[in-house]
């Protein structure tokens, strides 16, 4: 059993960054795939197969991440890892 000193009135510094993104594509964070050479990709469903699309990521919140990349649009269907 170890007695720990109780801290009362200890100074605390909190930093909060607030950013809002408008008109962006977003994907579930668990759909991101780490690439061997660095960076991320999304696995996108096409008519009869899938393909990896390298993406740049932006801000993230509540399980979603802002993504951009050549070949992505609002109709892209993303594979989600389970």
pLDDT tens digits along 16-74: 767 888 889 999 999 999 999 999 999 999 888 999 999 999 988 888 999 999 989 99
Q: Coil, strand, or helix at residue 29?
A: helix
Higher pLDDT, 81 or 62: 62
pLDDT tens digits along 60-70: 888 899 999 99
Question: Which is nearest to 36 in space by CA: 13, 16, 52?
Answer: 52
Higher pLDDT, 11 or 34: 34
Q: What is the pTM of this model?
A: 0.72
Alpha-carbon gap, residue 21 to 57, rounded angstroms: 12
- pLDDT confidence of residue 22: 84
Per DSSP, 38 falls in state S
């Amino acid at each position: 059993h170890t007695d720990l000193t109780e801290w009362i009135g200890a100074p605390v510094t909190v930093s909060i960054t607030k950013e809002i993104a408008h008109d962006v594509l977003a994907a579930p964070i668990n759909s991101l795939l780490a690439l061997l050479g660095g960076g991320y990709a999304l696995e996108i469903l096409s008519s009869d197969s899938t393909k990896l699309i390298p993406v740049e990521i932006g801000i993230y919140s509540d399980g979603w991440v802002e993504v951009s990349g050549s070949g992505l649009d609002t109709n892209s269907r993303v594979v989600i890892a389970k």
